[in-house]
Structure 1
């Protein structure tokens, strides 16, 4: 290991030790927290269905950077490059449209066999898989409704799709020996003001009840539901609101997914984690970065990302909160986007683990708010970067921005040749 990295780490260890923080324990804890990387950053949410159509459902991927993956082999290759540049445990989050078939398969007919390639790859990489039904970009979602559709036939199609996805998720869990989190998000809503807000929500509730009616072993599969404020073309009404899904998750004893981009611009999910944890056993987070709307920008090491990590660590929720990423930027190198966003989430977790939380808690309990504020602010200047660099070096992961050279080389040798 580089002697400069070791020397900086020794000084950081001493500084944190003066505050009662064991940096070695923090590194080990960070390494063990899995972050679920989202496959759809690698191909702009297109998927590998035969005859796939345009992206729809109130979401957009903008940009046309060269080198987009166009099949599963390319996507897995890109993911491997990214994962080797990120320290600590990782998972992969798949959408149903990333199946591998030689002929067209209706979404309500997909089977575990269509994802065998992903399971074999995950076994080789020693990672877990998570899953999502794809209730968008399909003729049966063209009018903005799926599980809340008033047409019985179309609604049943999506119910059957979600049921099939649950079995695929359970297959992931059984094959990989770790539970797969399956998150249900539907775009259902209207562009302009509806007269009846209740009926679609009742249909959505009844559809979800049918979807999760079969009891599956939580050792292999866990259900989650995700709210949203609005989407492009669905600006005025969304059936699956925050209130709807918080109530649904709590009353059905399933996971609630909080997406950082699915609320009003002045709302943050970091402030919702502790409240939601009182009513649901487990939470799923989709860490993203909205810019004025749910625009899914690459995750930064900004105040909200750090606040999310602090809430998880401070409240001892590491065993109850599952962290996933959700962004897709087609204007920059897609592999670099994965690396930047995932490393930032890992950095935020390490910084939270390095906080002298117990000291701060004691100050708060004794109402010494002056000391609390002073220590919290001084903590921002502590040498966490030296600990991060050391943690990367321990796993033979590039330190600092040196990872970028790997991505640039991969772009020249592989991505640029894809046309």
Structure 2
């Protein structure tokens, strides 16, 4: 039965030439790769004492942190049950599920097979990441760019093994596994020789990525960063470094919303890099003064990015992943609300009268563009979202609040 408020919304959007049913159908096909590390504060399950965090820090100690793979999977199952649509899981190499405790250069597919089996049972796709941080061999905040060849070789082997694991995941699930490469390499104070460090990073990446795999099974991505804790003065893998590398080598380019200057707009970068790279990986996050990885809000930054994806016809070339972690609030609530905010932004973009707006801009009629974009803000997007959730049998409003709080209470005694 169609809700009266949705019928009214459908008619309101129709006046602007927008088909809400088409928008809902399209939204249902867009997967979001949900990140595993929100559920346990980026701790992982290696079972050994790690080194420092490589500039990554989760703050807070809210009850309910997942301590085992089974607990993390249970939390994820709950989260997915409250997120409309069919999605993916982004898994880091430090989240192996095994009684063994292999070094990172000795990982094997078998250490992640339980995750693949679980993903199949739950209809999820899997993506993967080598873990180049929180390890004694990363304590200098240098890995692939380290001056010590032995340390570089260790991390090169880790990256090679992770690619082998990722391609096996892609084979098992019948779709490409996106393998994202981020390293924390950089300098706390001003270096005198950036070129040598960047040459080492490039050579290490070349060796790590030398083996070719079927792109229907594995897609490699490289991710830049502006700076991090301990690497305030210089990040070896800067945006310019990885943009050039992705263009030359044919990898995906990962754009993380927190990895740029606070006033930079990721939406503005999408169309620029899309002219030079075939596919893009997004890490959707919310920086607050720096790369603080707050849970994403339905704010102007997210709305602008979603609109650019739709208006520039980039959805088919862009892999959308999330990257935030907040230990001051319920971790499962963070997953659910953050992922749904990304979907809400996409829905709003899909509900825009794109041809009308583009035609006014092409005519240089900026007055009409201004009036239209402001008037469109008053349309009943919420009623369309509620209809989407109802069709997918997931709660909204106060029912969602009660659902999230009830689950949080059930895991609050974890310690």
Q: Please give the TM-score of this superposition, normalised by the length of structure 1.
A: 0.98
Q: C-alpha distance in 2, partners of 1:344/1:355?
A: 17
Q: Which residue of 2 aligns with 1:88?
A: 85
Q: C-alpha distance in 2, partners of 1:157/1:404?
A: 46
Q: C-alpha distance in 2, partners of 1:113/1:128?
A: 18
Q: Please give the TM-score of this superposition, normalised by the length of structure 2.
A: 0.99
Q: CA deviation at 1:54?
A: 5.5
Q: CA RMSD in A?
A: 1.0
Q: Which residue of 2 aligns with 1:225?
A: 222
Say which SS state the counterpart of residue 284 (structure 1) adopts: strand
1:120 is the counterpart of 2:117: yes
Say which SS state the counterpart of residue 32 (structure 1) adopts: coil
Q: Which residue of 1 aligns with 2:413?
A: 417
Q: C-alpha distance in 1, partners of 2:85/2:347?
A: 11
Q: Which residue of 2 aligns with 1:208?
A: 205
Q: C-alpha distance in 2, partners of 1:416/1:242?
A: 40
Q: C-alpha distance in 1, partners of 2:282/2:258?
A: 11
Where does 1:249-260 land on structure 2 (aligned, <5 Å)? 249-260=246-257
From 20, 23, 29, give the equivalent of 2:20.
Answer: 23
Q: CA deviation at 1:14?
A: 0.5
Q: Which residue of 2 aligns with 1:298?
A: 295
Q: Which residue of 1 aligns with 2:173?
A: 176
1:408 is the counterpart of 2:411: no
1:350-400 CA-to-partner distances (Å, cap 9, x unmatched) read 000000011101111112111111111111111011000000000111022
Q: C-alpha distance in 2, partners of 1:269/1:118?
A: 32
Q: Which residue of 1 aligns with 2:30?
A: 33
Q: C-alpha distance in 2, partners of 1:405/1:51?
A: 37
**Contact 1:222 1:254 (8 Å CA) reproduced:** yes
Q: C-alpha distance in 2, partners of 1:111/1:380?
A: 50
Q: C-alpha distance in 1, partners of 2:398/2:161?
A: 42
Q: CA deviation at 1:417?
A: 2.7
After the TM superposition, which of the residue ranges 252-261 and 360-369 deviates more from structure 2?
360-369
Q: C-alpha distance in 1, partners of 2:51/2:290?
A: 21
**Contact 1:46 1:55 (8 Å CA) reproduced:** no
What 5-or-longer segments of structure 1 have no aligned partner? none
Q: C-alpha distance in 2, partners of 1:291/1:417?
A: 31
Q: Which residue of 2 aligns with 1:75?
A: 72
1:238-266 CA-to-partner distances (Å, cap 9, x unmatched) read 10000000000001011000000001111
Where does 1:146-165 land on structure 2 (aligned, <5 Å)? 146-165=143-162
**Contact 1:97 1:134 (8 Å CA) reproduced:** yes
Q: C-alpha distance in 1, partners of 2:400/2:128?
A: 28
Say which SS state the counterpart of residue 304 (structure 1) adopts: helix
What 5-or-longer segments of structure 2 have no aligned partner? none
Q: C-alpha distance in 1, partners of 2:329/2:277?
A: 37
Where does 1:267-416 land on structure 2 (aligned, <5 Å)? 267-413=264-410, 415-416=411-412
1:133 is the counterpart of 2:155: no
Say which SS state the counterpart of residue 417 (structure 1) adopts: coil
Q: Which residue of 2 aligns with 1:110?
A: 107
Cα pair distance change 1:165/1:230, threshold 3 Å: same
Q: C-alpha distance in 2, partners of 1:256/1:196?
A: 25
**Contact 2:63 2:412 (8 Å CA) reproduced:** yes
